[in-house]
Structure 1
């Protein structure tokens, strides 16, 4: 980074040195994610994000034409992350009980390890926006589909019923994980919490045929 510049007797934030466009975009997303998570969408300004990133506003707008575009990019990144985590968790075991535990545990992994990015999927303060709402609904459907396909294959349950079971498990997992990270993180580990909820879910799932 360049040295700080003194303006009006105060040290102005140093501007970031030049970096490749893709790397700059990732850096801006990381900084914006922190600012949005701390202040919320409506209270965060592009000026705040540019200053925190050490870039000028024109540089920020070169990558993201508006604050909404920047926020949507963060939503998309968080959505892709949770879907990939869940799919990998399901594919990592052939045991049905282990699959249930892994699928539910992946939500706890996400909220524990993704910093505050889980809020863009599960606690967005911009759900009134139709574009954001559509993205969040789609990720819930994608998760329900991934889990539902496994349920259908392992139980013989009809696809529509499997999707309903899948979306119900998504709801169970994400609400529990959010509560854990906000209220119980000091009392139990993510693994302990997810195993507890997996036990609850498995006692219901194992009653279906072929499980």
Structure 2
């Protein structure tokens, strides 16, 4: 095994162990034993478990940040940006659960320190830029963009942590509900949210027809009630 191959092997093993036990719960002996090497080999490549952990965290940090940044910049419509970003996070969690556990295990988004908090800060910066342009376009005060960016990113991050363990419903459905709340607000939630624009349009048309039908029914009832009042 070449030095590069050995390094990648140690990173893979360390990633699994750190996800299960965290940095403090993992020893150099365990890493070396799982790799079938002596402890000095681990020290030679990374200087110890802290060095190995730092590389693992950095890789996961960059991977997830790149996915979400691409999602935010690849879509044109702002709802699509939010949809793609939510899906990117959930897809990363589904495909890299160990990596996400490492990012959130030893840090918390609200503490202001640690790898996950740093990641959220980077993502919020991207979202802030997008929101500032949109606020300015609609005549809103773009000074509020940083606050709204933190709100959106915090919401997405927390649903990601929750979904990491429950894994239900499917990621597309979770993303649809997340965007439903973020885009429409509690006062205008869609009864059947979807990431598919055609399905959303059909649902709007269905709701409009139902509203028209309800309004016509109410009007008919009012007329009937008025006639009864006149008869009496």
Any conservation in 2 of the 1:50–1:56 contact (CA below 8 Å)?
yes
Within the candidate set 96, 109, 116, 1:114 is matched to 96
Distance in 1 (alpha carbons) for counterparts of 2:3 and 2:117 = 33
Moved over 6 A (4+): none
Residue segments in structure 1 that go unaligned for 5+ positions in a row: 1-17
Q: Which has the higher contact order (CA 8 A, sep 6+)?
A: 1
Q: Deviations over 1:47-76 (max 9, x none)?
A: 101111222211111111122222222221
Quote the residue 2:126 is aligned against.
Answer: 146
Q: Which position in structure 1 is the counterpart of 2:148?
A: 165
Aligned length: 181
- 2:51 is the counterpart of 1:72: no
- The equivalent of 1:137 in structure 2 is 117
> Does structure 1 retain, via aligned residues, the 8 Å contact 2:135–2:142?
no
Q: TM-score when scaled to structure 1?
A: 0.77
Secondary structure, aligned partner of 1:44: coil
More helix by share: 2
Note closer, same or farther for the CA distance 1:20–1:158 as it changes in structure 2 (3 Å cut): farther
TM-score by length of 2: 0.70
State the Cα distance separating 1:123 from its structure 2 match: 2.5
Contact kept, 8 Å, 2:22 with 2:102, in 1: the verdict is no
Larger radius of gyration: 2
Q: Which runs of 5+ in 2 are unaligned?
A: 189-232
